[in-house]
Structure 1
Amino acid sequence: MNWLLVIAGAMVGAPLRYLTDRAVQSRHDSVFPWGTFVVNVVGCLILGTLTGAAAPERLRLLLSTGFCGALTTYSTFSYETLRLAEDGARGYALANAAASVALGLAAAYAGVTLGRAL
């Protein structure tokens, strides 16, 4: 039964990642991967909130593993950062790596703080 919860969360998270990425990226005339950046930071905030709230196991499987697992994407972040560096946009590559880690950690921390307050 647990795997069905993961699948259900992923069925929402994956299309939402794609749609969010396209919507965000279409609003920016830049090589910076804003769409991936946004979904990853938001995913960190959601996961932090669920962790801080000590969500029940079934909710964690649905939202943390399924939804956030499909919403966020380390592989796309890595690929886009590598492409920026290879295409000569090393400043953007460095900014993407540094900002993704820093804001991802900050969002997770904020989420844990929010979750504990709930």
Structure 2
Amino acid sequence: MFGDMMNMMGKLKETQQKVEDTKKRLDTVLVDESSNDGKLKITLTANRSIKSIEIDDALMQDKEELDDYLILTLNKAIEKATKINEAELAAVAKQGMPNIPGMDLFK
């Protein structure tokens, strides 16, 4: 029993390291999103850190329109990045989980 516990602890540490490595890697995964008409383009990492924003000059004339574009496009980009982030981290966590019947946390 003690050996099993030590094995599980080792596996847990290994999984924690894999999660940290995955988080670092997600800083290099870029997610691009643009408005439907292409007037606004946003790039962020899968960890939801904004890398760039390109704004068409036409949007600079109308603050309210720019605000709307930013909100809509940023929300779409964040949603995409979140899905990638959660899927990658769940996959790593699932690999490291012991097979305990009834504990299907990451299905």
The TM-score with structure 1 as length reference comes to 0.33
Q: Which has the higher contact order (CA 8 A, sep 6+)?
A: 1
Higher Cα Rg: structure 1 or 2? 2
Relative to total residues, which structure has the larger strand share, 1 or 2?
2
Q: Which has the higher helix share?
A: 1
Query: TM-score normalised to the size of structure 2?
Result: 0.36
